[in-house]
Chain A
Amino acid sequence: MKKRIRNLVVTCLIISMLSPCFGVTAFATSGENTDMDDLDILISAHYFLDSDSYGESFWSDSISDIDIVPLYNTSGKITAYYVELAEGGYAVVNNNTENPTTIEFGEGNNPLIREILDNNSNPHIIYNNPLSLYDANNTTMTRSISDQPDLYDNYPDLQVKDSSLASMLSEQKDIIESTPHIVPYGDGDYGFINWSDMPSGSYTSDNIPYSGTSWVITGDFDDIASDHCGATAVTNLANYFANQGYSKLKKSSNRNTFIAVHNIVGNGPVMTIADKAKKYFSNCGYTLQYSSVGTFTGIKDATKKDRPCGILLADGIVKWHWILSVGYRDYNSGGDYIRIMDGWNRNVNRFYKPGSGSLWISATQYWI
C-alpha cells in the first residue's frame, strides 16, 4: 500500500510539476479526438516506467507480453488505460493524447485491477482514482464507491493540455512509426499467436511435462553468437531433458550449456540440428534418438509421448527460425495449434498454426 501511495504521490507531483517546469500553457482541450491508440499508450507507459528520474526503472528489457485494459468513468467514456507488463510493472495512462501522463505506475501490478481481471474475462472497470475502482459487470465485486467523484473530478489537470509532454511523446511515436523494420525477405514475422489472442471455443490439448524447465532465449546470448536460434533450440532441448532427470545435459549455468551447444551447432542459418543435438547429448553421456514428423497428428503423438519436437520454419528464402513444440491445442471446431517455445520469449505461451504465417520446413521429435 505504501508503494502505491508513493506512486500516486509521484504521479500527482509529475502532473502538477511538469506544466510549470516546461512552461506549459494550460487551456481547455480542443474538440479534436484525443483518444490514445495502443502505441500512444505504450509510449507513455514506457516513458514513466523506464524513467530513471524516479529512482528505478520498472520496464524490463525483454517484455514477453503486455496487457492493455480500458478504464472507464460512469458515463462510459474511456478515461484511462491500465498497462501491465508480464515481467512485472504497471501503469495507468491518461487517455488523452494532449496530456499523455500516467495516473499511477510502479512495479508488480495494481492489485485491485488485477483482482478484477482475474475474476472476470470481460470486465468494465470504473476507475475514479487508484484507490477507488470497481467492475461494473460484476455486482458481487462492486464496492460501495460508485457514488464517489470520477477521475476528472479527482484530477482535473488530466483534462488540461500538456504540450511539452505531448510533443515529446509524439516525437517518439513518429520515430517508431517512421522506423522501417528492415527484414530482407518475408513479411517480418512467423505468425506466432499469443495466448491471449487464441480463439475461444472448446478444444483438446496436451503438453509435455515442461514445468520447471529453465528456458533460454536468443537475447541471452547476443554478445557471443549471431543468428543462433538453432543453438538456442538445442539448448532448450537439453534443458528440457535435464529437467526430466538427465542432469548431465546441463552445465554449471545456462550460459555454459549454450556455449557447449553452440560449439557444435554454430551460428545460423543452420538447416539441421538433429545430428548436432545428438552429438551434444552423446558428449554428455546420453543417446538422443530422433525421427522426422511431418504432420500435426505427428506432433500430437509426440506430445503424448512427452517428446518435444524441433521445428524449422521459413518466412522467406533465407529467413528461417528454429522453435520447439511443447504441446498442442486441437479445437473441436477445427483449427490445429502447436504450443511452442519460440526462442524469443522465456515462456511457452505462444502458438503456431501449421502453415499459417510461415512455412513448415521440417519437424523432428526427440527422446532419450
Chain B
Amino acid sequence: MDFCYSILDLKMIAIRKHKTYSLITTIVIFFALYFVSKIYLQDMYLFEWTQRHYYLGMWIIAIGLILGNRILISFSISVGNFVGILLGQYVGDWIKELTMSQIVSGMDPETVYQLQHHPGVEIWLLTIGIFFLIGAITTLIWKRKITSTS
C-alpha cells in the first residue's frame, strides 16, 4: 500500500530525527558556550581565546561528523571541547602559577616569558584528542557488537 511505511523507511526516519536532534544539540552547545565566553568570560584566557578563534573550527568538524552519521564521535568532540576548555583554563592557570613561581630577579626576559606561558590551548586540544579517541573506539566496539549479534 502506498501510505504504509516499510521498516526500512521507519528506521530512516528515526535516524533523521536522531540526526536533527544531535545537530541542534551540538549547535546549541557550541553557540551557547561561544556567547557565554564572549559576553561574560572575556577576562579568562582560554574562554576568550577559543571564542576569538571560533574553537578552531571544532564545531564544523562536529557537525560534519553528525552529517556523516558519526554521531557518537561528534558527541565526544563536543563534550571534549567543553571539558577541554574547563581543564585548559583551570589546570592551565595552575601550571602557569607553578612555572611562574620559578621566576627570579635577574632572569633573562626570554626565560621569564616562557615561564609565563599559559598551556591552556595545549590542554584543550589534548582533551579533545582524547575524547575523539574514546568516541572512535566506542563506535568501533559498538559496531562490532551489533555485527556479531546480527
A168 part of interface (Cβ distance < 8 Å): no
Question: Chain B: residues with CB nearer than 8 A to chain A?
Answer: 45, 48-49, 52, 98-99, 102, 104-106, 108-119, 121-122, 125
Inter-chain contact A227/B118, CB cutoff 8 Å = yes
- Per the bound structure, the CA–CA distance linking A345 and B116 in Å amounts to 16
Inter-chain contact B102/A46, CB cutoff 8 Å = no
* Contact residues in B for A183 (Cβ distance below 8 Å): 114, 117
* Contact residues in A for B98 (Cβ distance below 8 Å): 182
Say how far A235's CB is from chain B's closest CB, in angstroms. 15
Nearest B residue (CB) for A232: B113
- Per the bound structure, the CA–CA distance linking A50 and B104 in Å amounts to 12
- Per the bound structure, the CA–CA distance linking A141 and B86 in Å amounts to 66
- Per the bound structure, the CA–CA distance linking A243 and B111 in Å amounts to 30
Nearest A residue (CB) for B49: A267
Nearest A residue (CB) for B116: A222
24 pairs, CB–CB < 8 Å, chain A vs chain B: A46-B105, A50-B106, A62-B109, A176-B104, A179-B102, A180-B102, A181-B114, A182-B102, A184-B122, A188-B114, A218-B109, A219-B113, A222-B116, A226-B45, A226-B116, A227-B116, A227-B117, A267-B45, A267-B48, A267-B49, A269-B121, A318-B122, A344-B109, A345-B109
Inter-chain contact A184/B119, CB cutoff 8 Å = yes
Known: A50-B105, A269-B121. A181 touches B111 (CB 8 A): yes
Nearest A residue (CB) for B52: A266
* Contact residues in A for B119 (Cβ distance below 8 Å): 184
Inter-chain contact A63/B106, CB cutoff 8 Å = yes
* Contact residues in B for A176 (Cβ distance below 8 Å): 104
* Contact residues in B for A345 (Cβ distance below 8 Å): 109
Besides the known contacts A181-B115, A217-B109, A266-B48, 17 further A-B residue pairs in the complex with CB atoms under 8 A apart: A50-B105, A59-B106, A63-B108, A175-B104, A176-B104, A179-B104, A182-B115, A183-B117, A184-B117, A184-B119, A219-B113, A267-B49, A269-B121, A318-B125, A342-B110, A344-B110, A345-B109
A115 part of interface (Cβ distance < 8 Å): no
* Contact residues in A for B110 (Cβ distance below 8 Å): 189-190, 192, 342, 344
- Per the bound structure, the CA–CA distance linking A219 and B108 in Å amounts to 11
A129 part of interface (Cβ distance < 8 Å): no
A229 part of interface (Cβ distance < 8 Å): yes
Nearest A residue (CB) for B117: A227
A42 part of interface (Cβ distance < 8 Å): yes
Inter-chain contact B113/A218, CB cutoff 8 Å = yes
Inter-chain contact A318/B102, CB cutoff 8 Å = no
Known: A266-B49, A266-B52, A318-B121. A181 touches B102 (CB 8 A): yes
Say how far B101's CB is from chain A's closest CB, in angstroms. 10
Say how far B46's CB is from chain A's closest CB, in angstroms. 9
- Per the bound structure, the CA–CA distance linking A345 and B105 in Å amounts to 16
* Interface of chain A residues 54 through 81 with chain B (CB within 8 A): 59, 61-64
* Contact residues in B for A318 (Cβ distance below 8 Å): 121-122, 125
* Contact residues in A for B116 (Cβ distance below 8 Å): 222, 226-227
Inter-chain contact A219/B112, CB cutoff 8 Å = yes
* Contact residues in A for B115 (Cβ distance below 8 Å): 181-182
Say how far B103's CB is from chain A's closest CB, in angstroms. 10
Say how far A181's CB is from chain B's closest CB, in angstroms. 6
Inter-chain contact B109/A64, CB cutoff 8 Å = yes
Inter-chain contact B117/A61, CB cutoff 8 Å = no
Nearest A residue (CB) for B126: A318
* Contact residues in A for B108 (Cβ distance below 8 Å): 63, 344
Most chain B C-beta atoms within 10 Å of own C-beta, residue among A50, A180, A226: A226
* Interface of chain A residues 181 through 211 with chain B (CB within 8 A): 181-184, 188-190, 192
Say how far B41's CB is from chain A's closest CB, in angstroms. 13
Interface string of A207-231 (1 = CB under 8 A from B): 0000000000111001000110100
Say how far A288's CB is from chain B's closest CB, in angstroms. 21
* Contact residues in B for A184 (Cβ distance below 8 Å): 117, 119, 122
Nearest A residue (CB) for B123: A184
* Contact residues in A for B45 (Cβ distance below 8 Å): 226, 267
* Interface of chain A residues 272 through 301 with chain B (CB within 8 A): none
* Contact residues in A for B48 (Cβ distance below 8 Å): 266-267
* Contact residues in A for B49 (Cβ distance below 8 Å): 266-267
Nearest B residue (CB) for A350: B110
- Per the bound structure, the CA–CA distance linking A59 and B107 in Å amounts to 11
- Per the bound structure, the CA–CA distance linking A318 and B118 in Å amounts to 11
- Per the bound structure, the CA–CA distance linking A267 and B53 in Å amounts to 10
* Contact residues in A for B117 (Cβ distance below 8 Å): 183-184, 227
Inter-chain contact B122/A42, CB cutoff 8 Å = no
Choose from A50, A181, A219 the contact partner of B109 (Cβ within 8 Å): A219
- Per the bound structure, the CA–CA distance linking A182 and B98 in Å amounts to 10
Nearest B residue (CB) for A42: B106
